[in-house]
Structure 1
Amino acid sequence: MDSPTASQCSFPDLRDVFPGCSSYEDLYNLSIKETDLFWGTLARMSLRWNRDFEHVSNCNMESGLFRWFLGGKLNVSVNCVDRHKEKDPDRVALIWEKDEPGQEERITYGQLYTMMNQVANVLKTHGVKKGDRVAIYMPACPLAVASMLACARIGAVHSVVFAGFSAEALASRINDAEATVVITADQGCQSHFVAKRTGSLVVSSTLDVDLDEAMAKESGECEPAVMDSEDLLFMLYTSGSTGNPKGVVHSQAGYLLYASLTQRLVFDCKEGDIFGCVADIGWITGHSYVVYGPLANGVTTVLFESTPTYPDPGRYWETVQRLKINQFYAAPTAIRLLLKHGDEHVEKYDLGSLRTLGSVGEPINVEAWQWYNKVVGKEKCVVVDTWWQTETGGICISPRPSAPDAEIHPGMPMRPMYGIWPVIVGEKGEELKGNDVTGALCLKKPWPGMARTIYGAHSRFLETYYQPFRGFYFTGDGAIRHKDGYYQITGRMDDVINVTGHRLGTAEVENALGQHPSVAESAVVGYPCNDKGEGIYAYVTLKDGFLAGVKMETELRGIVRQKIAAYAVPDVIQICAGLPKTRSGKIMRRILRKVAADQTENLGDISTLADPAVVKDLIANHQTIKNAGK
C-alpha cells in the first residue's frame, strides 16, 4: 500500500519543504552537504510508493556503482497516470500536434490510463514478462507514449528507437538490447505489434499482430507490477566515440524523481500549464521532458509530430498561439534555422502565453539566444540554456532554479542544479580550484537521475565515464567557470583544436562566426597542418539573401580575429548549403573532420543523416577549394 507520505503531486515551494533554506544558494548547499536528507525528503514528498525505502543512497564514484532509495517499491506508470486520473480523469495529459496544423488531438489522463492498460494487457497476453526488453519504433503519437508506460506498468524494459532511423540502425539496437518484441508502425523482422497510423499497411506476416485489434479485445485495467527502485526502467541508445551505439540504462525511482523535479523547477512549471517540448520521444529529451517529467507532474504535455518549417517557418509559433503553450523547449539547431528565415514568421503570432523558453542539445550561440529572447520571448520570458546528457537523465546546469530576478547571461547554462557538483579538471586530472578556469567538465557527486550502466557492457561504462578522471563522472565536455562562478560549455573535448600550441574550443570560434549578420549556422573542426599542428576549417551556412564571396570570407575571418585572436582565424572557410546532421539535429562532426582532412574514401555509415546528399556537396566544395589552392 502507499506510504503515508506519498504525494498526490502538488507543487510546493522548496523553501517551505526545507524551512531553514530561504534562497537557491541555501537549497543548493543543503543538497550538496546533506544529500540523503535532501533527496530522501523529495522522494517521499513527490512520488507514490508501494513500500517506503530504507536507505536513500549507496553510491561510489570510484567503482561506478550507484543505488538510490534502497528497499523502496513503486510503479512509474502509477506515478505518471493513475494518481492524476484518480484526482481528475478529464484533465488533458497529451496534446498530439499532428503533421498538419490545426489537427491536434487531446488525450485525457483517463483515456491514457485505459490505452496504457490495454497495451500492457496485449504484451502480457503475448508472453512479455517483467525484465523483458521491448523495442518501440514509432512516430510521436499517444500510442507510443502509452506503449512506454505499458512497459513500465508490467515491469518490461523499453528501448525507444527514433522512428527516422534506417532498418540497419534499428536492427542493431534490437539485437543489442535482445528485444523479444517490437511495437511499431512499420514492418520488422521479429515478433511485433503494428499500430495503424495512416491505415496503408496491411498486416500479413504470421509474426505481426494488429495492435489496434488486439487492444480492442483487452481490458482497460491492468494491475501494476511492484518494482524495486533500482529495477531497469528503460535503455536508450546514444552514439559512442567509436561509432558503436551504446545502450544507456536508467532505473526506476531515481530517474523519475530527477526528471520530474527538473521539469518543474527549471521551467517554472505549474499545475494547469501546457508544456511544449518539441523533441522526438526517441531521444532522452523526449523521454524526460515530453513523457516522464511532465506526466509525473500531472501537467499537459505536447507531442509534436511535424517539423519546424512545415507548412512554413512559422509552424512552431502558430502552434504556441493555438495551443496556448506556457513553456517551449527546442534545440539550438532549430532556433538557428528559424532565425535564418527572418522575424516575420514569428511576429504575426500571439505568443503571450509563453513564460519560459528553453534550449537543449548543444551550446547555443549568443546571436541565436538573443533572437530567441527578443523576437520570440519579447524580452518577457525567462530563457534557460540547459546542459545535460542522455547519461545524466535530466538537466544538470541551467540558469533556473534561482531567484526570479537573478541574472541570466546569453549563451551559457550558468548554475548547477540541486545535487549537481560540477568541477573543472585539468589535463593531469587535477581539480582546478577557484574561478576563471577552463578544462574538462566533471561531476563530483552522485545524483538520482544518473545512468546505472551501459547494457551488457559495464566495463565500457566505467572506461567511458569513470576511469578518465578517478573519483569523477567525466562528461566528455569542456567548460569554463567564469570569474563570477558561472559555467559555460565549450563543446566536446574531442572538439578541441591545438593550434600552434594553443588549445582552442571549436564552439568558441563558432560563436564568433555566428555574430556576423550573414551567418545562420557554422561548424568548426581541426585538420592536419604541417605548419601549425592543426589547422582550422570552418563550415558556414548563410541566411537567405546573403551571398558568398571573398568579401564575405574576409569579414568572417576579421570577426574571429576581433572576438578571439589571430591564431583562431579559420584557415579554410567553406560556405555550404547545409551541414550533415542526424535526424535529431546533431551535427556529425566526424564527417566534417574527414572532409576537411581529405579522407573521404571511408566516411562510415551516413544512413542516419537527415539528408545524406549534403555530404556529396561538402566533398565537391572541398575539392573546389583545394584545387583553388586555398
Structure 2
Amino acid sequence: MSGEYEEAFRESIRNPEHFWGAAAKNIVWYKEYDRVLTPGDPPFYRWFEGGMLNTCYNCLDRHIEEGRGDRIALIYDSPVTKTVIKYSYTELCDLVARCAGGLQKLGIEKGDRIVIYMPMIPEAVIAMLASARIGAIHSVVFGGFASRELAKRIEDAGPKIIITASCGIEVDRIIPYKPLLDGALALCTHTPSACIYVQRKEKMVDLKGEQEISWDQLIDAEPASCVPVNATDPLYLLYTSGTTGRPKGVVRDTGGHLVALSWSMKNIYGMEPGEVYWAASDIGWVVGHSYIVYGPLLHGCTTILYEGKSVGTPDPGAFWRVIAEHVVSALFCAPTAFRAIRREDPDGKYRAKYNLSKFRMLFLAGERCDPDTLVWAEEILGVPVIDHWWQTETGWAIGANCAGLELLPIKPGSCTKPVPGYDILVLDTRGDPVPNKETGNVVVQLPLPPGCFTTLWKNDADYIRTYFSAYPGYYLTSDAGFIDDDGYLWIMGRTDDIINVAGHRLSTGAMEEVLASHPDVAESAVFGVHDSIKGEVPFGFVVVKAGAERNKGKLPQELIALVREKIGPIASFKTAAVVQRLPKTRSGKILRGTIKKIADGTPYSIPATIDDPAILDEIKAILQEMGYPKQ
C-alpha cells in the first residue's frame, strides 16, 4: 500500500505539469503563466513561462498584507559581536524597500547585476531582497574571499554596483574587506559605478570620492515598490566554489525557484508558518540563498542569521544555545559541524544544559554523512536526523526523506529517497543502468524540476558540455552512488572519489564510513594515491575525539584491521595517519582533492576558501615521511 511520498513522487514524474501547477498556487502571481513546463530545446527547459511575479513581494509584502506583519521574520544572532537583533516582517520590509529605493537612485534597473560581498550581517539579507524587489540580479560572494577569486566573479558578472562591509569577524579575528575589494578591482577590466560600504564599529574605513558610498547614505531614500518580472528572468547568479579559469555562474530563475522552495519548506522540512528555522550556513553558499533567506521568508517562518564560526566551533554548546534561546523547530547544517561537536563533547554534557523540547528535526547536507555521526546525533538529540543531498546547481534537495510528506524509515549514512520531481538513475560508463547495490554514476533524467539552474551565465556551451553531454537526456551530478533494494539512494562521494585498486572500483566514501565507526575517530578522509603495482591504493587521515589521545599509537593498525574486516582485503587499505585537523573550506568541506595532489606530487594551489592553510603543512610532512610523492 503506497503512502503519501510514493503517490507524490509518481505524480511528479508521470505528470509534472499537474504536480508543479498545483504547487504554484501557493505563490502570488501578478500575471498567470501560459503553461507550467515549456520543453523548448533540451536541456533548456522553461518553467511557468509567461507568468509575472516578484520574489520580494512573496517573501515580505504578502505576509504584511495578510495581517502577519508583526511576526518575527529575521533573528540576527552574532556571538562574535555579542549581538541579537530581531526584525518583524514589517520592519524588514521597510528596510528592504528603502534599500531598493537607494539602488534605484544609483541607476539600478531591472536586469542589472549587483555583487554582494558581505559578512553574515542583516544588511546582506536586506541587499539580496532589495535587489529582488526591483528586478536586479544579485551575485553573492562569500565574505572574505581572496581578491583573486572575487575578481573572477566581478569580471564575469559585470556588476553595476558592489555592496560590501568595512570588515568581517571570524571568532576573534577582524578581516578588513576594503583591501580585498580594492585588490580585486585592480585585477578587473570591469569597473562598477559605485561601491557601498556598511561601516562596522570593529573596523571603520575612509570612503573616498563619489563612487564610495556608505550604507546609511544608500538607505536614506524613498521606499521602492516591487517590480514585476518574468518567471523565467534570473533572480541571482551564484558562482561555484573551487573553480579554475572562467568561473561557473549558476543562473537561478525566479518563478521555478519560488515554487520549488515553497514546496520544499512544507513537504521536505515539515515547517509551518510562524515556526523558527535555522540553516547554519553562510549566505555566500547556495544553502544560505535557499534556506537562510528565500525559503523560510517565503513560507512565513522566522529565519536565523548566525554570525560566528558554526563549523568546527570552539564552543560545543553554541548550537544548543541558539536552538534553545530562539525556540528552533528545525536545524539544517553540515555533518562536519556535528563531527566537530562530537569530537569535543562525545557524551553530550553541553547538550544537557539546554531545553530543546521544541526542537523536532535535524537535517544534514553539504558532504557525505557517516552513519556513526548520524546515530550519535539521534541519541544526543532524541529527534529524527535526516541526511539529504543536493547541489549548488539544483538549489534544493535532489534526495531527502520528505518529513513533511511522510517520514520514512531512516537508514544511517548518506542515504535518501529521490525527492518528487527528480527521476534518478545510476548508470555505468556506457550509459546502462547498473544493478541494485552496485556503484555507478548518479544522473537525473530531464527535465529537471523547477528551481534548478537554467544555464551558466553567458555560457550555454559549458552548461551543455559540463552537465549534459556525458549522458544525453540526463543531468550528470558527478556524484557516485547506488540504489538499494528498498529504493533508497546512497551517495558515496564525487565520481573522482572512486579509486581503481588493481582493477576493482572502490569507494573511498565507504572506507571513510568504516573509519568513522571506530569509537576513537571524530572524522576521517580517505583518498587514492599512486601505486606502481595496483595503480591506486587508499590512504586515510583521521582526527581523534577528545580523550582518545592515549590510543593514537595503536589506532592506525586498528583502523587497517577494521577496513579489512568490513570491506575486505580487496580494499588494500594499509596506511592511516592521525592528524590534529583536516584541511577544509570555510563551508566545511574536506579538501580531499588537494591532499591527493600533494601525495601524487602534482601541482596544486591552496584554495581561497580554505579555513587554515597551515593544516596542509602537517599533511604534507606526514606524506613525505611515508614516502609520498612516489615517482
Q: Same fold (TM over 0.5)?
A: yes
Within 2, Cα distance between the matches of 1:99 and 1:197? 15
Residue aligning to 2:86 = 106
TM, length-normalised to structure 2: 0.91
Structure 1, unaligned runs of 5 or more: 1-20
- CA-CA distance at 1:550 after TM superposition: 4.7
Name which of 23, 31, 35 aligns with 1:42.
23
1:455 counterpart letter in structure 2: W
Whether 1:125 and 2:125 are equivalent positions in the alignment is: no
Whether 1:557 and 2:560 are equivalent positions in the alignment is: yes
Whether 1:31 and 2:33 are equivalent positions in the alignment is: no
- CA-CA distance at 1:405 after TM superposition: 5.6
Residue aligning to 2:247 = 245
Whether 1:533 and 2:513 are equivalent positions in the alignment is: no
The 1:449/1:317 distance shift into structure 2, 3 A limit, reads: same
Residue aligning to 2:608 = 607
Name which of 571, 575, 589 aligns with 1:572.
575
Whether 1:370 and 2:378 are equivalent positions in the alignment is: no
1:498 counterpart letter in structure 2: N
2:334·2:366 contact (CA, 8 Å) conserved in 1?
A: yes
Within 2, Cα distance between the matches of 1:389 and 1:627? 33
Within 2, Cα distance between the matches of 1:296 and 1:440? 34
Mapping 1:579-590, distance limit 5 Å: 579-590=582-593
- CA-CA distance at 1:324 after TM superposition: 1.0
The 1:368/1:285 distance shift into structure 2, 3 A limit, reads: same
- CA-CA distance at 1:589 after TM superposition: 2.0
Name which of 317, 329, 350 aligns with 2:355.
350
Which secondary structure does the structure 2 equivalent of 1:428 belong to? Answer: coil
- CA-CA distance at 1:511 after TM superposition: 0.5
The 1:234/1:594 distance shift into structure 2, 3 A limit, reads: same
Which secondary structure does the structure 1 equivalent of 2:128 belong to? Answer: helix
Residue aligning to 1:171 = 151
1:225 counterpart letter in structure 2: V
RMSD of aligned Cα (Å): 2.0
1:226 counterpart letter in structure 2: P
Whether 1:360 and 2:365 are equivalent positions in the alignment is: yes
Within 1, Cα distance between the matches of 2:618 and 2:314? 26
TM, length-normalised to structure 1: 0.92
Mapping 1:495-534, distance limit 5 Å: 495-534=497-536
Mapping 1:14-93, distance limit 5 Å: 23-43=4-24, 45-59=25-39, 63-86=42-65, 87-93=67-73
Within 1, Cα distance between the matches of 2:205 and 2:553? 56
- Cα deviation, 1:171-197, whole Å, max 9, x if unaligned, reads 211111111211000323442111123
- Cα deviation, 1:477-536, whole Å, max 9, x if unaligned, reads 011100111111010001110001110111111111000111111111111111101111
Residue aligning to 2:256 = 254
1:164·1:583 contact (CA, 8 Å) conserved in 2?
A: no
Residue aligning to 1:269 = 271
Detail structure 1 runs of 4+ shifted over 4 Å in the superposition.
240-244, 402-405
Q: Which moved more, 1:561-570 or 1:354-363?
A: 561-570
Q: Which moved more, 1:360-369 or 1:171-180?
A: 171-180
- CA-CA distance at 1:119 after TM superposition: 1.0
- CA-CA distance at 1:168 after TM superposition: 1.8
Whether 1:592 and 2:572 are equivalent positions in the alignment is: no
Mapping 1:69-468, distance limit 5 Å: 69-86=48-65, 87-100=67-80, 103-186=83-166, 187=178, 188=181, 189=185, 190=192, 191-198=194-201, 200-206=203-209, 207-215=211-219, 217-219=220-222, 221-239=223-241, 242=244, 245-308=247-310, 312-342=315-345, 343-375=348-380, 377-378=381-382, 381-401=383-403, 404=406, 406-432=408-434, 435-445=436-446, 446-468=448-470
Q: Which moved more, 1:412-421 or 1:503-512?
A: 412-421
2:23 counterpart letter in structure 1: L
1:329·1:358 contact (CA, 8 Å) conserved in 2?
A: yes
- CA-CA distance at 1:565 after TM superposition: 1.3
Which secondary structure does the structure 2 equivalent of 1:95 belong to? Answer: strand
2:280 counterpart letter in structure 1: V
1:300 counterpart letter in structure 2: T
The 1:483/1:241 distance shift into structure 2, 3 A limit, reads: farther
Within 1, Cα distance between the matches of 2:426 and 2:321? 42
Within 2, Cα distance between the matches of 1:570 and 1:109? 55
1:136 counterpart letter in structure 2: I
- CA-CA distance at 1:235 after TM superposition: 0.6
2:9 counterpart letter in structure 1: Y
Q: Which moved more, 1:93-102 or 1:236-245?
A: 236-245
- Cα deviation, 1:348-372, whole Å, max 9, x if unaligned, reads 2221111110001011001110111
2:238·2:249 contact (CA, 8 Å) conserved in 1?
A: yes
The 1:148/1:498 distance shift into structure 2, 3 A limit, reads: same
Which secondary structure does the structure 1 equivalent of 2:416 belong to? Answer: coil
1:123 counterpart letter in structure 2: L
Q: How many residues align?
A: 599
Q: Which moved more, 1:328-337 or 1:435-444?
A: 435-444
The 1:549/1:470 distance shift into structure 2, 3 A limit, reads: same
Within 2, Cα distance between the matches of 1:269 and 1:544? 35
- CA-CA distance at 1:340 after TM superposition: 0.3
2:12·2:20 contact (CA, 8 Å) conserved in 1?
A: yes
Which secondary structure does the structure 2 equivalent of 1:344 belong to? Answer: coil
The 1:244/1:359 distance shift into structure 2, 3 A limit, reads: farther
The 1:241/1:559 distance shift into structure 2, 3 A limit, reads: farther
Residue aligning to 1:542 = 544
Which secondary structure does the structure 2 equivalent of 1:321 belong to? Answer: helix
Within 2, Cα distance between the matches of 1:317 and 1:610? 24
Residue aligning to 1:12 = none
- CA-CA distance at 1:616 after TM superposition: 1.2
Percent identity, aligned pairs only, is 35
Within 2, Cα distance between the matches of 1:405 and 1:333? 24
- CA-CA distance at 1:428 after TM superposition: 0.5
Structure 2, unaligned runs of 5 or more: 167-177, 186-191
1:595 counterpart letter in structure 2: I
